[in-house]
Amino acid sequence: MEQNTPPLSHLTESGEARMVDVSQKPIATRTAVASALVTTRPEVIDAIFAGDLPKGDVIGVARIAGIQAAKRTADLIPLCHPMTLEWVDISIEREGEQSLLIRATARTCARTGVEMEAMTAASVAALALYDMTKSADKGIVIGPIRLESKTGGKSGDYQRQGGG
């Protein structure tokens, strides 16, 4: 490791994985926004918004799946702190002719951030959307999935710059 590189917080001095001790950090309001792009054929997107697919309310199911996933993040991601979420929101909008943009927002008052909760929510909402629409198009592509912004905490605020 280079001299100016900070140590990895999830590793012990001997290189073993560990959970970070956040007990001494102050409680702060923290918000994170993540997104997932879902690409499919234009007629499938039309059917999603029209409610014309065999499995029913695709957008409603994807929203619920994303919210549930955010609440279960610590069960899915090793070493992730369990936390109480104050708010989770999932929005799904058309993005051009062939894509949907899922945006997941998570907020808490805690000692650690909610980036993983937002990322998990966006990911699982996209997977649920795939599951609900795969009968219409098995070639659906999910990605990128990425952090868009975060506020609160010692490392400060972050806002993704630019596109792609």
| Bigger pLDDT: 3 vs 124 | 124
Residue 1: pLDDT above 70?
Answer: no
Report the half-sphere exposure of 146 (CA within 13 A, side-chain side). 13
* Residue written as token pair 């008052």: 109
Q: Which residue matches tokens 């000692």?
A: 111
**What pLDDT score does 162 carry?**
80
pLDDT at 125: 98
CA geometry: angle 12, 158, 68, nearest 5 deg = 75
Candidate list 46, 57, 75, 131, residue with the active-site label? 131
pLDDT of residue 12: 63
Encode pLDDT of 71-128 as tens digits.
999 999 988 899 999 999 999 999 999 999 999 999 999 999 999 999 999 999 999 9
Q: What residues does each domain of the chain span?
A: 28-152
Host H or E run for residue 99: strand 99-110
Confidence (pLDDT) at 155: 83
Instruction: Name residue 31's beta-bridge partners.
Output: 107, 151
CATH topology of domain 28-152: Alpha-Beta Plaits (3.30.70)
pLDDT the model gives residue 11: 59
Digit-coded pLDDT (tens) for 7-36: 556 656 777 777 777 888 889 999 999 999
What is the per-residue pLDDT for 37? 98
pLDDT in tens, 126-164: 999 999 999 999 999 999 999 999 999 888 899 999 865
Residue 157 bears catalytic tag: no
